[in-house]
């Protein structure tokens, strides 16, 4: 039979596990908290074209010949329904009247100059601008789900997560992960999103095809969200304890 000491120990254990989330453990952009990591600042680097990227080109020319109109990509209203061209496994793309243009590993500005040089063999005063058709990132886990567009240059981790939704109280803010494809393979960047030093660090900006994974905190199973809930747990625990004690008599 369970004695009073064991019941009291059980009661204390219930109180211990029924802890609340603290504001300090959830607050973002904390400064001066020495228990949090301090991330060094890094320079932003432009995205470099990868195999299977979808490229859209825009041809600008004052040439009114039929060839210029034929080469110019057709677009719908507002630039919709643009034709995209996939980067092949050998790192090249084919465009109208041009083939085997090497673009893998180049920034969009660098690739625009390469394509422009090739087009000028056909249209001497041509100007070319390239963009990505697959400018999206994904989010899954305890901060929402979905695939979202990269609507601006230098999209930050906070802007990206705001598109998916807010953090839950159960979110593990200490171990946010970005899964990113790089030339050497798949890179996983894990970081604590709470310190202010996250700004301008290598974890701050989101690139095309990034996957953001936000997991649920393991200890959230036994945590309560506010003190009123905690009071309810304590009241229930005490009632249960007294009932068992009376029954044991």
CATH of the domain at 152: 3.10.560.10
| Per-residue model confidence (pLDDT) at position 197 | 97
d(CA 51, CA 105): 9
The answer to whether residues 42 and 144 belong to one domain is yes
Q: Which of 108, 132, 156 is the last residue of a domain?
A: 132
- The answer to whether residues 43 and 204 touch, using CB atoms and an 8 Å cutoff, is no
User: Quick one: pLDDT at residue 209?
Assistant: 95
Strand-by-strand arrangement of the 211-214 sheet: 146-149, 136-141, 211-214, 176-182, 185-191
Give the global pTM: 0.76
Please check whether residues 146 and 204 belong to one and the same domain.
Answer: yes
User: Residue 191 sits in which domain range?
Assistant: 23-46+135-221
Give yes or no: residues 142 and 216 share one domain. Answer: yes
Compute the distance between CA of residue 122 and CA of residue 234 in angstroms, rounded to an integer: 80
The last residue of one of the domains, among 112, 132, 152, is 132
Structural tokens at position 52: 């299977």
* pLDDT of res. 2: 53
Q: For residue 202, what pLDDT is reported?
A: 96
Q: pLDDT of 82-120, one tens digit each?
A: 789 999 999 999 998 899 999 999 999 999 999 999 999
DSSP state letter for 142: B
Give CA torsion, residues 138, 144, 146, 151, to 10 deg.
Answer: -70
Task: Find residue 101's DSSP bridge partners.
Answer: 93
Q: Which residue has better confidence, 181 or 249?
A: 181
Cα 117–chain centre separation: 35
**108 and 210 inside one domain:** no
- Let me know whether 32 and 82 are in one domain: no
Exposure string for 214-235, b = 16+ CB within 10 A, e = fewer: bbebeebeebbeeeeebeebee
Tell me the CB-side half-sphere exposure of residue 95, using CA atoms within 13 A. 25
Question: Are residues 228 and 117 part of one domain?
Answer: no
Q: What is the pLDDT of residues 22-43, one digit of tens each?
A: 667 789 999 988 899 999 999 9
- Encode burial over 94-108: b for 16+ CB neighbours within 10 A, e otherwise: ebbeeeebebbebeb
Q: In terms of residues, how long is the chain? A: 249
* 40-75 residue pLDDT tens: 999 999 999 999 999 999 988 876 666 766 677 655
Domain count, the chain: 3
Quick one: pLDDT band at residue 168, thresholds 50, 70, 90?
A: confident
Residue 19's pLDDT band, with cuts at 50, 70 and 90, is low
Q: Do the Cβ atoms of 208 and 150 come closer than 8 Å?
A: yes
Phi, psi of 68 (to 5 degrees): -60, -45
Contact 198, 204 (CB under 8 A): yes
CA atoms within 13 A on the CB side of 174: 9
> Do 77 and 180 sit in the same domain of this protein?
no
Q: Smallest Cα–Cα separation from 62: which of 124, 130, 121?
A: 124
pLDDT at 241: 55
The terminus-to-terminus CA distance of the chain in angstroms comes to 11
Residues 216 and 230 in one domain: no
Looking at 76, 103, 132, the residue that finishes a domain is: 132
What is the tens place of the pLDDT at every residue in 191-203? 999 999 999 999 9
């Amino acid at each position: 039979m369970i004695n009073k000491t064991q019941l009291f120990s059980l009661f204390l254990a219930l109180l211990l596990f029924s802890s609340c989330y603290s504001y300090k453990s959830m607050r973002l952009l904390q400064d001066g908290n020495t228990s949090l990591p301090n991330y060094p600042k890094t320079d932003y680097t432009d995205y470099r074209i990868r195999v299977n990227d979808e490229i859209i080109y825009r041809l600008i020319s004052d040439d009114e010949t039929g060839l210029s109109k034929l080469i110019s990509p057709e677009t719908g209203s507002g630039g919709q329904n643009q034709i995209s061209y996939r980067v092949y496994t050998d790192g090249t793309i084919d465009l109208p009247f041009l083939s085997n243009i090497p673009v893998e590993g180049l920034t969009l500005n660098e690739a625009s100059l390469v394509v422009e040089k090739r087009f000028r063999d056909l249209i001497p005063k041509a100007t070319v601008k390239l963009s990505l058709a697959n400018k999206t990132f994904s989010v899954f886990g305890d901060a929402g789900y979905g695939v979202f567009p990269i609507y601006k240059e230098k999209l930050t981790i906070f802007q990206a997560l705001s598109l998916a939704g807010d953090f839950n109280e159960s979110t593990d803010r200490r171990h946010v992960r970005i899964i990113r494809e790089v030339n050497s393979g798949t890179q996983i960047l894990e970081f604590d999103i709470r310190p202010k030093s996250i700004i301008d660090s290598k974890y701050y900006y989101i690139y095309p095809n990034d996957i953001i994974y936000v997991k649920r905190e393991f200890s959230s199973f036994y945590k309560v969200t506010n003190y009123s809930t905690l009071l309810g747990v304590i009241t229930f625990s005490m009632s249960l304890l007294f009932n068992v004690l009376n029954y044991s008599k």
